[in-house]
């Protein structure tokens, strides 16, 4: 699980690097080469979707998403664990519905309609596939968190 | 009638948030619950997925990760220290010297970077210990640092003004950027007034006046950092490049300077990149779920319902603006700025525009208003960072924060009722 996190981190840093190069290339090609590049705009936008969702999954794995933790910290013992389990289950439900089920259906629809992007002509399904992938990652992390909650030796109890 | 949907949306959101579900997921959950009331589950899920993905599909939003990255590089690359030294030589000899240094440093930082959190981290960690050495209380130092770092949200470049431009359906980023200068400086000035009074009362030390030669030297030292302002803002206003392109150039420039100052190493870069990716993706996920929720609201015609009930209370622009300000102050305490802007702009902007209020002016009001919320519990990202950096607690920092809040509210009222403060500079540039 930790290994997965590290690799995911490197992959995200790599995507950021490409996104940065892509926008810089756009300026360079317009002013220095005077032949504006046609794909950079689109490539950077699609990378942003990937970074947003995959990065959201990464941040979820680190327990970095901002929450109001007044109630969870006020409760003690069993009820605190129960509340944290409930929070994780709610997150899983949303992610399962919107990202995994909704995302897969979106991928399926765009794929069967053969929709491609305007500039790069890549199937839009490739862009949207990150929705279910991130969703599954988040669910994996949240199940890990729930298991850790029920294991008293572990200290990890972040939602 | 859409009142049921409004109730479902608000109740479910408050419940999810209250029991401790992270904000991004609370927004997503309450949006989808509301949508499930009127349409079937499978289309609801698919629509939500699509709205989240297409919400991020925006060239404008790309500026956010780049400005965050540039902010990190400013911190790590030795630019922040040079700005702080300049601020110290400028302001150190006033009563409450270091407090003013903090405020001016925050404004300078805000003028070259786009995020308040980066400013609070950089300046708090450098100036905090020195303020304590000179006899300031830790809590006062933290309070000044927290409130002053929000001035950077108005002073361009500013990520949140970019988000507002998006939420408002295309108010010019260049116009918003120019409009932010005076309100940002005014807010900083108000904070300085309060800090000076507080410091006099408590007898905090006054630094020695710096020699002119030293001031001059620190200014020369800070020029490369300040030149970023010329590239980014100059480039955007002159129409040489878009805000997004400017943000990418800012990254390259700060990267180059960091290596030139020999403060950055190549092997640190993956870590810096990853840090900014994780900071950014927290914001991006909020943006994705907020945009989806905002779509649900317009699908359920919630903005019309809210607008009708607000306008039923009064049709006086001053009263309406006051009410909106009060609502936003409340919203800001428990909601992060980005989702608040994305969700409430589509609701309030049509109302105020109908009353003849300029969308640029309203954007500035909204950002300054929500800036106050960033410094208040229970949810205040800048408050958390500022308290963390200073090594104190939220409950201790509240007391010195109160007078500074009053300063911010006075600034907010001035900016709300004198549109010229926001609109005069843009008008000079033909906006």
Closest residue on chain B to A63 (Cα): B22
Residue from the list B42, B248, B288 with its beta carbon closest to the beta carbon of A52: B288
Q: Phi/psi at B9 (nearest 5 deg)? A: -60, -50
Residue of B nearest to A7 (CA): B274
| 3-state SS, one letter per residue, for B15-48 | HHHHHCCCHHHHHHHHHHHHHHHHCCHHHHHHHH
- For the stretch B236-278, pLDDT in tens is 988 888 899 999 999 999 999 999 998 899 899 988 999 889 8
Q: Which token pair is A122?
A: 């890549």
**B200 or B180, which is more confident:** B180
For residue A159, the model assigns a pLDDT of 42
Q: Which residues of A touch B57 (CB under 8 A)?
A: 45-46, 48-49
**Which residue from B42, B48, B281 is facing A55, i.e. has the nearest CB?**
B281
* Total number of residues shown for chain B: 431
User: Cβ(B416)–Cβ(B352) under 8 Å?
Assistant: no
Residue B208 has pLDDT above 80, yes or no: no
Out of A20, A66, A109, the one facing B22 most closely (by C-beta) is A66
Q: Per-residue DSSP letters for B102-120?
A: HHHHHHHHHHH-S-HHHHH
Output A67 or B361, whichever has higher pLDDT: B361
Q: What is the CA radius of gyration of chain A?
A: 20
Q: Which structure tokens are listed for A67?
A: 């929450």
Going by C-alpha positions, the residue among B375, B384, B378, B430 that lies closest to residue B408 is B375
Summarize the confidence of residues B46-72 as an average pLDDT: 92
Give the closest-approach CA distance of A115 to chain B in angstroms.
14
Instruction: Tell me the mean pLDDT in the region B369-394.
Output: 89
Give, for all 159 residues of chain A, the pLDDT tens digit. Answer: 778 888 999 999 999 999 999 999 998 888 888 888 889 999 999 999 999 999 999 999 988 887 887 888 888 888 999 999 999 999 999 999 999 999 999 999 999 999 999 889 999 999 999 999 999 999 999 999 999 988 765 554 444
CA-based nearest residue to B65, from B247, B337, B225: B247
ipTM of the complex: 0.91
**Is pLDDT at B2 greater than 70 in this prediction?**
no
Q: Do A54 and B25 touch (CB under 8 A)?
A: no
What's the gap in Å between the CA of A140 and the closest CA on chain B? Answer: 16
User: Among the ranges B109-118, B214-223, B418-427, which has the highest mean pLDDT value?
Assistant: B418-427
Model pTM score:
0.89
The DSSP H or E segment spanning B389 is: helix B381-390
Q: What average pLDDT does the segment B200-220 reach?
A: 83
- Give the whole-angstrom CA distance, residue A16 versus residue B65: 8
**What are the residue ranges of helices labelled H in B203-242?**
212-229, 235-237
- For chain B, say whether A38 makes contact (Cβ under 8 Å): no
Distance of alpha carbon B143 from alpha carbon B397, whole angstroms: 6
């Amino acid at each position: 699980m930790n290994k997965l996190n590290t690799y995911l981190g490197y992959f995200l840093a790599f995507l950021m690097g490409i996104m940065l190069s892509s926008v810089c290339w756009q300026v360079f090609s317009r002013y220095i080469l005077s032949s504006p590049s046609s794909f950079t705009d689109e490539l950077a936008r699609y990378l942003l979707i990937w970074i947003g969702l995959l990065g959201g999954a990464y941040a979820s794995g680190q327990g970095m998403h901002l929450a109001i933790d007044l109630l969870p910290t006020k409760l003690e013992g069993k009820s605190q664990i129960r509340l944290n389990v409930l929070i994780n289950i709610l997150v899983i439900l949303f992610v399962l519905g919107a990202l995994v089920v909704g995302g897969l259906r979106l991928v399926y629809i765009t794929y069967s309609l053969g929709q491609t992007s305007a500039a790069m002509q890549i199937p839009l399904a490739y862009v949207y596939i990150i929705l279910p992938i991130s969703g599954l990652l988040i669910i994996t992390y949240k199940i890990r968190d729930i298991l850790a909650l029920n294991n008293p030796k572990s200290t990890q109890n972040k939602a | 009638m859409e009142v049921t949907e409004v109730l479902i949306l608000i109740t479910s959101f408050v419940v999810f948030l209250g029991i401790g579900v992270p904000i991004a997921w609370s927004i997503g959950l309450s949006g989808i619950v509301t949508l499930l009331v009127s349409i079937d589950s499978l289309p609801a899920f698919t629509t939500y997925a699509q709205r989240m993905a297409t919400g991020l599909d925006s060239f404008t939003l790309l500026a956010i990760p780049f400005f965050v990255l540039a902010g990190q590089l400013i911190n790590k690359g030795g630019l922040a220290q040079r700005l702080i030294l300049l601020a110290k030589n400028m302001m150190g000899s006033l009563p409450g010297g270091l407090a003013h240094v903090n405020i001016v440093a925050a404004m300078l930082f805000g003028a070259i970077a786009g995020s308040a959190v980066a400013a609070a981290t950089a300046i708090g960690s450098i100036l905090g210990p020195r303020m304590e050495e000179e006899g300031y209380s830790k809590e006062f130092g933290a309070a000044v640092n927290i409130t002053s770092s929000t001035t950077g949200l108005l002073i361009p470049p500013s990520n949140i003004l970019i988000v507002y431009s998006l939420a408002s359906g295309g108010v010019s980023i260049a116009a918003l950027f120019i409009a932010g200068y005076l309100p940002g400086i005014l807010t900083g000035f108000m904070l300085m007034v309060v800090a000076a009074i507080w410091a006099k009362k408590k007898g905090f030390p006054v630094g020695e006046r710096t020699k002119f030669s030293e001031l001059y030297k620190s200014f020369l030292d800070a020029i490369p950092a300040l030149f970023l302002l010329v590239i980014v803002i100059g480039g955007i206003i002159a129409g040489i490049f878009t805000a997004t392109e400017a943000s990418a150039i800012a990254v390259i420039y700060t990267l180059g300077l960091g290596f030139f100052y020999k403060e950055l190493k190549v092997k640190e870069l993956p870590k810096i990149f990853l840090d900014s990716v994780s900071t950014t993706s927290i914001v991006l996920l909020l943006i994705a779920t907020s945009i989806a929720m905002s779509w649900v609201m317009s699908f359920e015609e919630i903005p019309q319902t809210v607008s009708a009930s607000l306008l039923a209370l009064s049709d006086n622009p001053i009263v309406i603006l006051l009410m909106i300000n009060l609502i936003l102050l409340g919203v800001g305490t428990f909601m992060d700025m980005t989702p608040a802007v994305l969700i409430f702009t589509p609701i309030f902007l049509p109302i105020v525009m109908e009353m003849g209020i300029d969308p640029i002016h309203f954007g500035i009001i909204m950002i300054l208003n929500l800036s106050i919320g960033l410094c208040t519990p229970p949810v205040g990202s800048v408050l958390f960072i500022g308290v963390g950096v200073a090594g104190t607690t939220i409950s201790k920092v509240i007391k010195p924060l109160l007078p500074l809040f009053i300063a911010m509210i006075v600034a907010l009222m001035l900016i709300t009722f004198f549109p010229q403060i926001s609109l005069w500079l843009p008008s000079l540039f033909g906006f």
